[in-house]
Amino acid sequence: MKRKEFLQTTFAVSGGLILAPQLLAQSQSLKAKKVSKLTILHTNDTHSNIEPFPANHAKYPGKGGVERRFEIIEAIRQKEENVILLDAGDIFQGTPYFNKYKGVLEMKLMSKLGYDVATMGNHDFDIGLDGFLAAKAHANFPFVCSNYDFSETILKGKTESHVIIEKGALKIGVFGIGVELKGLVPDSKYGATRYLDPVIIANQKALELKKMKCDLVICLSHLGYEYSSDKISDVQLAQQSENIHVIIGGHTHTFLEEPTRITNANGHTVLVNQVGWAGVNLGRMDFIFDKQLFKNNDVIVVE
């Protein structure tokens, strides 16, 4: 389904076709080349919104809902060969479903939808580390939490610092960066969790994944898109990064029409995307890889 067709459904799909710069002038001949295509689908800040908004809702009448998201994701998977599904946190909190099922329903549904990786947002600590761990038992996908040190908590060994997903000939590295919890989440909810500098950790993880020969390095971030203050955000992280290709964000509930292109510390382009909240939007980005023209892993131009 094309982007315009998606926009006519109860979901909006944010994103576009992502091409290596060298391929823009050759897009008509892609089929004749030995290239790989990757489709990234993503959500953020779904906040326990299981059902669509009511038809009389002031802002999002009839939009969202896990069932419709499932239908759209499955339609894309039937058409595209290499698809990954990611979430940038704040899965919990916002509807009575969370109050009743304590995150278990959300994890079961995300597993049914086939999420590949997620990261934790601040509201995913709302039932404490023990509550999150109990809910996570129903998830068949990993959580990447690279700058939360859980080594002195019950979450030790229960999350990953990064994962590598292989799709066809492609290796996709994914890591997660979370927001500072102090002052945002009650101390008792995150216990002895240590918060590590997001920029330092992000650059360390990205370099590690680059050395592992990943074709694409993705940061799942719950820092927030941008602030009027100097608080670290996705935009600032992108500017200070060196080997990240894509930042999929959350926390600020920012609706972006298309990914923002930001120049990083090495003069390369980083894509930053975020698709609002409550499951109203499903993000989509398509990448084309030509191994001969893509030797430096220098993504990215949005068509």
Q: Are 225 and 233 in contact (CB under 8 A)?
A: yes
In 96-190, where does DSSP find H-type helix? 96-101, 104-113, 128-136, 187-190
* Residue at 301 is within a domain: no
Q: Could you tell me the pLDDT band of residue 265, with boundaries at 50, 70 and 90? A: very high
Nearest-Å Rg of the Cα atoms of the chain is 18
At residue 63, the pLDDT reads 95
Q: Residue 98 pLDDT > 80, yes or no?
A: yes
User: For 169-207, what is each residue's pLDDT tens digit?
Assistant: 899 999 999 999 999 999 999 999 999 999 999 999 999
Q: Residue 8 pLDDT > 70, yes or no?
A: no
Residue type (1 letter), 40: I
Q: Residue 125 pLDDT > 70, yes or no?
A: yes
Residues in Cβ contact with 92 at an 8 Å cutoff, skipping those fewer than 6 apart: 47, 48, 98, 103, 106, 121, 123, 124, 126, 127, 135
At residue 35, the pLDDT reads 73
At residue 38, the pLDDT reads 94
Q: Residue 301 pLDDT > 60, yes or no?
A: no
In 80-195, where does DSSP find H-type helix? 96-101, 104-113, 128-136, 187-190
In the chain, where does DSSP find H-type helix? 3-7, 66-79, 96-101, 104-113, 128-136, 187-190, 198-211, 234-240
Residue type (1 letter), 123: H
For the chain, helix (H) and strand (E) counts, in that order, are 8, 15
Write the CATH number for 191. 3.60.21.10
Sign of CA dihedral 268, 239, 190, 276: negative
CA-nearest of 34, 20, 42, 7 to 285 is 42
Q: Residue 107 pLDDT > 70, yes or no?
A: yes
Q: Are 214 and 239 in contact (CB under 8 A)?
A: no
Q: Could you tell me the pLDDT band of residue 291, with boundaries at 50, 70 and 90? A: low
* Residue at 179 is within a domain: yes
Direct distance between the N- and C-terminal alpha carbons of the chain, in angstroms, rounded to an integer: 17
Please state the rounded mean pLDDT for residues 288-294: 66
* Residue at 303 is within a domain: no
Please state the rounded mean pLDDT for residues 250-272: 96
Please state the rounded mean pLDDT for residues 267-296: 85
CA–CA separation, 39 vs 77, rounded Å? 9
* Residue at 300 is within a domain: no
Of 159-173, 192-206, 256-270, 282-296, least confident by mean pLDDT is 282-296
Residues of the chain with pLDDT > 90: what percent? 82
At residue 303, the pLDDT reads 34
Number of domains in the chain: 1
Of 31-45, 79-93, 103-117, 257-271, least confident by mean pLDDT is 31-45
Q: What's the domain range around 288?
A: 3-24+35-295
* Residue at 202 is within a domain: yes
At residue 289, the pLDDT reads 85
At residue 287, the pLDDT reads 92
* Residue at 131 is within a domain: yes
At residue 30, the pLDDT reads 47
User: For 212-249, what is each residue's pLDDT tens digit?
Assistant: 999 999 999 999 999 999 999 999 999 999 999 999 99
For the record, the structure tokens of 214 come out as 């990943």
* Residue at 149 is within a domain: yes
Q: Could you tell me the pLDDT band of residue 128, with boundaries at 50, 70 and 90? A: very high
Q: Are 218 and 171 in contact (CB under 8 A)?
A: no
- Mean pLDDT, the chain, whole residue set: 88
User: For 10-53, what is each residue's pLDDT tens digit?
Assistant: 334 444 444 443 333 333 444 545 678 899 999 999 999 999 99
* Residue at 29 is within a domain: no
